[in-house]
Structure 1
Amino acid sequence: MSTTVFTHAHVVPVDGDPFDGTVLVTDGTITELGPNVQAPADADVVDATGKWILPGFVDAHVHLGTHEEAEGWAGDDTNEMTDPVAAQVRAIDAINPADLGFGDALAGGVTTVNVNPGSGNPIGGLAVAIHTAGHTVDAMVLKSPSGLKSALGENPKRVWGEQKKMPSTRLGVAAVIRQAFVDAANYRSTRDAAGEAFAGRDLKLEALTMVLDREIPWRQHCHRADDIATAVRIADEFGYRLVIDHGTEAHLVADLLAERGIPVLIGPLMTSRSKVELRNRSLRNPGLLAAAGVEISIITDHPVVPINFLVHQASLAVKEGLDPATALRAITLHPARVLGVDDRLGSLAPGKDADLVLWSGDPLDLYSRAEQVYIGGERVYRYATPTS
């Protein structure tokens, strides 16, 4: 049995009040934490005097490992844009753990990410939740699949409109999505009626059936308020679990989202207004959503915003009105809940994985840095002062 004790730290559990004290880890799991924890005599001691300990950050929308940095076209496997409905493709099959972004993630205190396919198709494929350290993606997986990616708005309209193919309009994109769900529902009925005699597997329709059965959420890329309303409308028709990705104008329909309990993964926040959909991008929007009762997570869409800037987006949102405690939850517990791994990650509590980060100070302070990062109780990163 391996036991590590982190002593004399300022501990921020996220789901609970901060305290000065100790975190005890046994075999990769948090077993005890508090101001008066007694460490076993044989424990490995990490003196965290003057440090802040928080759970590892979670970015629930990235293209880490599939859109590799500094690799050009050879490392871009984000979109399979040969069919508007590509529900059967899986992000896990394109992730390169050697992507430079994984090192940046650890340096930014990010221990968990959700890797999505891109937004060129109305239906883009299956996402996967992984840790940010490991030699093979299979060893890094937390949940696969963790959702099915879909896109409304400018991107699929542009991609397929330029090819003079359907869908070339917003109404066409919505129609493609509806038809795919009708096909999946018919497939499910035929499969269930046939039972063991069924012999017509279809990976595309199987993926869509997982959404209809509410096994995984529908991850809906949309920016404009009208597209968000369309996302809710289609979700109501087919009864699946909806998550809004990006949500640039979600604050304009916050009452609708709050009433239905639909979470918003908002971001990236540190970008130019490079297209019409981003006209109302603002660092004030996370605070507006949270104030309206919408559960928010903050995302980078890496490499659109470098993943190590996740915490800086949260800090800037605080500057523009977001409550600091909510900001921390938006990069820890809330995205862990969206991914369905909040029983393991997103806060510090007995029984949860020891995915934790030692910070030099308050992580929302620009001058603080992640000094040590642990995943499952194993140290995977340590800041080294540059020598030249």
Structure 2
Amino acid sequence: MFEASKANYYGLDEHLSLASVTSVPAKALGLDHRIGQISKGYDADVVVWDSYPLDLGATPLEVYIDGIPQFNTSSCVLGNDSSKQIPSKFIPKSNFTREPAKSQLTSSIVLKNVGKIYVDKNHIIDTTSSTQGDISLIVKDGIVECIGINCTEPDHISSYEVIDLNGGYVLPGFIAVAPSLGLSEIDSESSTTDGRVTAVSNPNDAEKIIYAIDGLKLGGKHLEAAYKAGILTAVTAPLASKGVFIGVSMAFETGASSVLDYDPNPIVKEHVALHAQIGTEFKYTTIPTVSGQIALIRKTLLKNLKQHNIFGRAARGDIPLVVRTHSKDEIASLIRLKIQIENNGGHLKLVILGGTEAHMVAVELSKHKIPVILIPSRPTPKSWTAQHALTGAPITNTTGIEILHANKVIVGISVIESGMERNLIWDAGWAGINSRGVISEKDAFGFISWNLEEIFGLDGRNRRLMKGKIANFVAYDGNPFDMKTRVKIVAGGGKSKILIDPQQD
């Protein structure tokens, strides 16, 4: 149903969107005489939703197959007008279809009637706390000139584009921990990718580590789609399949045209983190066991602890070590490894990437200050080492992201494959809406912005909404967690011009 919601967002009529997952596939299968609609004589296959099914976060309350309930939801829950108590801040402000406006570029802009501005994690300006006047944001020649309630109309207003945001939101540019942004355009066509690295399997081969920044290619369609959705910064590691140590990631602005640009500089951070991967899917001839993979990481870090190479930097905590894994047992072994490194004088900044079963060791992750970047944010038990995935309602009462957040683990979220980065705002919103108040609106935004800044040690000051700084933000004409809200403004992200009404398709 989420795919139908996205189809509706991108312009497909709501009835056709619903039909695309009901009557249309039934007809394509030649089964439209018995399924695909609720009619007399048809199979009693019915879903009862907790809210309008095309809304973000809508989940089934009950599923009937041939009239037999699958979840045995109580009648008192089914009888309520809405079992989902969505906080008012999540309630959509509009419910109508709008024709997309034509995109345009400008260098100076005045945003009026702003409902809420997230300056950063600790500074929020909203209409409920600003009783002295309307909230405005003024940008002149790409630089923030004024933000808040005390902004006066600039001289020569005719040289500015004036936009009434009608109570919409302004947020810092989002960050994607991307599978291949900047390194691959078509994964199945080798000529469009940087290529797959040969993983390092020898503790003495630090010089063979690949740095993603050397293969960065800008201007691709995936980058353009991410930019138009407000994903203004990407963190990408070298591409790899098998092996343990795969390389060092980079952070860059998605809207940039060349690594040689200097105004603004598109490279946020050349060397972000050392990346590794462990698990059954990464076994290969040289290291055929998971225990061997973990042993290699331990040996490499301890042996290079006092060296000035990339392994030594990771062991001393100068750069994070990001390890991709889903298994609770493998995560527990990595926590133990972190303790061993620290007992030997190191200071390992371990980050878990994947983390489907991370919630099962949430207390220990929090105790040892180990962040988790969930990929995907709503996991399913696709493998043996991810069998304890918490899918959320209606299958489970809670989710992994809720447990991690409740235990004060720093959490980020990302996507499985490139092209899906533009869905990150909805992934964050889904986590918040369905958490029953555990995850606030601010917390949800943090999963794709300031949390990732903290995890990777990115300098957020240069991308923060501050007077005198380069404008780097995304503005919505409503609440971003409403599937009918549109991106209105994209500023920054490596571009000197401000994009109004980006066309997303």
Number of residues of Structure 1 aligned to a counterpart in Structure 2? 362
Structure 1 gap segments, 5+ residues each: 189-205
Residue by residue, what CA displacement relative to the aligned partner does 1:193-223 show, whole Å, maximum 9, x if unpaired? Answer: xxxxxxxxxxxxx221221332211112121
TM-score with structure 2 setting the length: 0.65
d(CA) in 1 for partners of 2:462, 2:445: 13
Aligned counterpart for 2:314 among listed residues 192, 200, 211: 211
1:182, distance to aligned residue in structure 2 (A): 3.2
Give, as a single letter, the amino acid of the residue that structure 2 aligns with 1:227. E
Give, as a single letter, the amino acid of the residue that structure 1 aligns with 2:357. E
d(CA) in 1 for partners of 2:455, 2:416: 16
CA gap 1:380/1:228 in 2 versus in 1, 3 angstroms: farther
Give, as a single letter, the amino acid of the residue that structure 2 aligns with 1:292. N
Asked if 1:46 corresponds to 2:46, the answer is no
CA gap 1:153/1:146 in 2 versus in 1, 3 angstroms: same
Give, as a single letter, the amino acid of the residue that structure 1 aligns with 2:117. V
Aligned residue runs from structure 1 range 109-128, under 5 A: 109-118=230-239, 120-128=242-250
The aligned residue for residue 326 of structure 1 is 443
1:306, distance to aligned residue in structure 2 (A): 1.0
Asked if 1:256 corresponds to 2:377, the answer is no
Aligned counterpart for 1:134 among listed residues 256, 259, 266: 256
The aligned residue for residue 266 of structure 1 is 374
d(CA) in 2 for partners of 1:301, 1:352: 33
1:173, distance to aligned residue in structure 2 (A): 0.2
Give, as a single letter, the amino acid of the residue that structure 2 aligns with 1:68. E
Aligned counterpart for 1:104 among listed residues 219, 222, 225: 225
1:153, distance to aligned residue in structure 2 (A): 1.6
CA gap 1:134/1:275 in 2 versus in 1, 3 angstroms: same
CA gap 1:385/1:257 in 2 versus in 1, 3 angstroms: closer
d(CA) in 1 for partners of 2:489, 2:468: 21
Asked if 1:65 corresponds to 2:65, the answer is no
RCO greater where, 1 or 2, for CA within 8 Å and sep 6 or more?
A: 1
Whichever structure has more helix as a proportion of its residues is 1
Q: Secondary structure at the match of 1:309?
A: helix
1:308, distance to aligned residue in structure 2 (A): 0.8
d(CA) in 1 for partners of 2:354, 2:198: 21
Max Rg structure? 2
Give, as a single letter, the amino acid of the residue that structure 2 aligns with 1:9. V
Give, as a single letter, the amino acid of the residue that structure 2 aligns with 1:308. R
d(CA) in 2 for partners of 1:25, 1:253: 45
Aligned counterpart for 1:19 among listed residues 126, 131, 139: 126
Identity in percent: 23
Asked if 1:287 corresponds to 2:412, the answer is no
TM-score with structure 1 setting the length: 0.83
d(CA) in 2 for partners of 1:134, 1:385: 18
360-369 or 66-75, which deviates more: 66-75
Q: Secondary structure at the match of 1:97?
A: coil
The aligned residue for residue 6 of structure 1 is 111
Residue by residue, what CA displacement relative to the aligned partner does 1:6-63 show, whole Å, maximum 9, x if unpaired? Answer: 3322232153234241123456444542122224324634323313211111113432
The aligned residue for residue 192 of structure 2 is 75
Give, as a single letter, the amino acid of the residue that structure 1 aligns with 2:323. Q
Give, as a single letter, the amino acid of the residue that structure 1 aligns with 2:382. S
Residue by residue, what CA displacement relative to the aligned partner does 1:146-186 show, whole Å, maximum 9, x if unpaired? Answer: 111011222322xx1xxx32x11111001111222233236
1:71, distance to aligned residue in structure 2 (A): 5.1
Structure 2 gap segments, 5+ residues each: 1-106, 128-134, 342-346, 393-398
Asked if 1:309 corresponds to 2:412, the answer is no
**Cα root mean square deviation, aligned:** 2.8
